[in-house]
């Protein structure tokens, strides 16, 4: 009965949304089989990874809980290759042919070939990364308290974050809360340094909000160094572009992302950050049956002419649109062009503190600071779960 395959690569924000919506739209067309493929058996709430890295909170849900009672076939495996010339996907020890392909594999860390950076730093792009940071921070704190040498203790308690974008800033806020709360660590004296190559933190935000982010972080004891780049990392030191050498056991690199090498070798045309160049319907250039979305797609905002940023809100919107467009194509109807809805941006700076703005009807852009902003951030995250529940319709609440 199934003789046509739609392969959705990646069960993150965009991929799982696309797969769920496709399953609903194609309910009466059993000849289409939807494969959803991810290396992990769970969907990660990636926008909360900094919380998992510092507080070890639950930020994932089993994919099976979300897709149960749908027709989606979930394959837990690593995708090794996308062969668009032969319309097939190569997995660890099998391959899958497809009629339609949806690429939603997210980003990996970009180390920009900075010497030693990949070898001697932690990153924050996956749950595995978050767990590694959590273990590392706890381990280094314990060791520092046991050390009898003041200089070594100080180096151990110097936490450096490279990159003052959203991820770096959110991690710095969480980490400051944690270390300030650990009485022994606070009295031993710790340092959190946030190093940013540009002139201000979170450049996506306007200057006023960016300044607010800096002030709030400094209020928590985070030292911010702007206009400065990391140029080399060794096992226990960091060389900066201003000539300084920082001794530090911990460097979390949050300074850049790019698409993985699978995308590069897929035969698709890529642009900035290795993202796939797509048309207004999110079809890969020259490949009408291949769609890309989320961090993998270099979608252009038709209003501004600029690339749509790599953000969860856009991955979710694009997941819904791609499903609709594949369905339209199957039914011989017109596809819809992508017009991003910018809903706002809220940056969390630890528990109960955030800074950001939301698009509110009539006022356009309303700024929020402090506790209210943190409530809104939580509401946005809850909304994602609600939307997934709505798409899934048969969700089992994994938190019990
Ligand atoms: C700490 C942090 C905080 C963030 N905060 C925000 C925020 O507040 N707001 C916001 O809008 N955005 C935020 N982002 C960005 C946002 O998380 C991403 O833009 C979003 O996750 C992109 O969604 P996606 O569907 O493209 O990919 P992802 O959600 O990254 O999903 C990709 C999936 O592909 C799978 N995968 C990748 N490679 C393979 C392979 N080879 N084989 C099998 N499976 C594979 C992965 O396991 C993953 O499940 C944050 C990111 C981080 C890291």
Same domain, 52 and 35: yes
- Determine the structural domain holding residue 159 and report its residue range: 122-257
- At residue 321, the pLDDT reads 98
Count Cβ atoms below 10 Å from residue 85 Cβ, excluding itself.
7
What's the CA-to-centroid distance between 277 and ligand 1, angstroms? Answer: 18
Does the C-beta of 377 come closer than 6 Å to ligand 1?
A: no
Does the C-beta of 314 come closer than 6 Å to ligand 1?
A: no
- At residue 3, the pLDDT reads 86
Q: Spell out the per-residue pLDDT of the chain, length 400, in tens.
A: 668 999 999 999 999 999 999 999 999 999 999 999 999 999 999 999 999 999 999 999 999 999 988 999 999 999 999 999 999 999 999 999 999 999 999 999 999 999 999 999 999 999 999 999 999 999 999 999 999 999 999 999 999 999 999 999 999 999 999 999 999 999 889 999 999 999 999 998 999 999 999 999 999 999 999 999 999 999 999 999 999 999 999 999 999 999 999 999 999 999 999 999 999 999 999 999 999 999 999 999 999 999 999 999 999 999 999 999 999 999 999 999 999 988 888 999 998 899 988 887 766 788 888 888 888 888 877 777 777 777 776 665 555 4
Does the C-beta of 323 come closer than 6 Å to ligand 1?
A: no
* CA-based nearest residue to 137, from 118, 121, 119, 159: 159
Q: Which of 7, 8, 12 to mutate to test the pocket of ligand 1 (most atoms within 8 A of CB)?
A: 12
Residue 352 lies inside a defined structural domain of this protein: no
User: Which of 220, 238, 257 is the last residue in one of the domains?
Assistant: 257
Same domain, 133 and 234: yes
Same domain, 325 and 304: yes
Same domain, 245 and 267: no
**Whole-angstrom Cα distance, residue 351 to residue 173?**
8
Same domain, 202 and 266: no
Does the C-beta of 172 come closer than 6 Å to ligand 1?
A: no
CA dihedral (128, 146, 157, 246) positive or negative: negative
What's the CA-to-centroid distance between 151 and ligand 1, angstroms? Answer: 38
Structural tokens at position 52: 């998992």
Same domain, 269 and 228: no
Residue 362 lies inside a defined structural domain of this protein: no
- At residue 400, the pLDDT reads 40
Does the C-beta of 174 come closer than 6 Å to ligand 1?
A: no
Same domain, 149 and 245: yes
Name the closest-CA residue to atom 6, ligand 1.
47
DSSP 200-242: SS-TTS-HHHHHHHHHHHHHTTEEEE-S--EEEE-SSEEEETT
- At residue 214, the pLDDT reads 97
Q: Are 194 and 158 in contact (CB under 8 A)?
A: no
Same domain, 158 and 249: yes
Same domain, 204 and 152: yes
- At residue 395, the pLDDT reads 61
**Whole-angstrom Cα distance, residue 167 to residue 357?**
17
Same domain, 72 and 93: yes
Distinct helix (H) and strand (E) counts, the chain: 11, 26
Does the C-beta of 7 come closer than 6 Å to ligand 1?
A: no
Does the C-beta of 125 come closer than 6 Å to ligand 1?
A: yes
What's the CA-to-centroid distance between 331 and ligand 1, angstroms? Answer: 31
Does the C-beta of 153 come closer than 6 Å to ligand 1?
A: no
Residue 178's CATH number:
3.50.50.60
Does the C-beta of 54 come closer than 6 Å to ligand 1?
A: no
| Ligand 1 atom closest to Cα of residue 313 | 11
Residue 366 lies inside a defined structural domain of this protein: no
User: Which of 225, 257, 289 is the last residue in one of the domains?
Assistant: 257
Does the C-beta of 8 come closer than 6 Å to ligand 1?
A: no
| Ligand 1 atom closest to Cα of residue 38 | 44
Nearest-10 crossing angle of helices 127-146, 166-181: 40
Count Cβ atoms below 10 Å from residue 125 Cβ, excluding itself.
18
Same domain, 221 and 272: no
Identify the helix (H) or strand (E) that includes residue 251. strand 250-253
- At residue 366, the pLDDT reads 86
Q: Are 322 and 338 in contact (CB under 8 A)?
A: no
Residue 357 lies inside a defined structural domain of this protein: no
Q: How many domains, the chain?
A: 2
DSSP 316-356: HHHHHHHHHHHHHHHHT-PPPPP-----EEEEE-STT-EEE
Residue 398 lies inside a defined structural domain of this protein: no
Same domain, 180 and 96: no
- At residue 48, the pLDDT reads 93
Does the C-beta of 79 come closer than 6 Å to ligand 1?
A: yes
């Amino acid at each position: 009965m199934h003789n046509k395959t739609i392969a959705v690569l990646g069960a993150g924000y965009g991929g799982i949304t696309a797969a769920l919506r496709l399953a609903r739209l194609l309910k009466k067309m059993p000849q289409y089989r939807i494969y959803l493929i991810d290396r992990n058996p769970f969907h990660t709430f990636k926008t909360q990874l900094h919380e998992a890295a510092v507080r070890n909170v639950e930020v994932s849900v089993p994919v099976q809980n979300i897709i149960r009672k749908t027709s989606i076939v979930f394959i837990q495996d690593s995708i090794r290759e996308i062969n668009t010339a032969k319309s097939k996907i190569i997995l660890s020890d099998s391959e899958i042919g497809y009629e339609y392909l949806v690429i939603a594999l997210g980003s990996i860390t970009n180390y920009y070939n900075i010497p030693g950076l990949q070898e001697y730093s932690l990153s924050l792009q996956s749950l595995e990364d978050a767990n590694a940071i959590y273990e590392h921070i706890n381990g280094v704190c314990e060791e520092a308290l046991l050390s009898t040498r003041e200089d070594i203790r100080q180096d151990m308690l110097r936490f450096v974050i490279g990159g003052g974008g959203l991820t770096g800033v959110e991690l710095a806020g969480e980490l400051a809360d944690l270390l300030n709360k650990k009485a022994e660590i606070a009295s031993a004296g710790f340092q959190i340094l946030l190093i940013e190559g540009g002139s201000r933190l979170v450049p996506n935000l306007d200057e006023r909000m960016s300044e607010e982010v800096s002030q709030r972080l400094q209020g928590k004891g985070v030292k911010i160094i702007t206009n400065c780049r990391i140029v080399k990392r060794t096992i226990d030191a960091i060389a900066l572009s201003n000539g300084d050498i920082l001794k530090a056991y911990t460097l979390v690199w949050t300074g850049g992302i790019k698409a993985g090498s699978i995308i590069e070798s897929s035969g698709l045309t890529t642009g900035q950050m290795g993202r796939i160049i797509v048309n207004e319907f999110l079809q890969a250039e020259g490949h009408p049956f291949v769609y890309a979305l989320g961090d993998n797609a270099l979608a252009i905002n038709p209003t501004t002419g600029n690339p749509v940023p790599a953000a969860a809100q856009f991955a979710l919107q694009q997941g819904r649109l791609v499903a609709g467009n594949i369905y339209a194509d199957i039914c011989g109807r017109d596809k819809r062009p992508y017009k991003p809805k910018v809903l706002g941006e809220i940056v969390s700076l630890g528990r109960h503190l955030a800074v950001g703005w939301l698009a509110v009807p009539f006022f356009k852009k309303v700024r929020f600071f402090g506790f209210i902003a943190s409530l809104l951030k939580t509401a946005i995250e809850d909304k994602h779960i609600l939307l997934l529940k709505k798409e899934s319709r048969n969700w089992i609440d994994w938190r019990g």
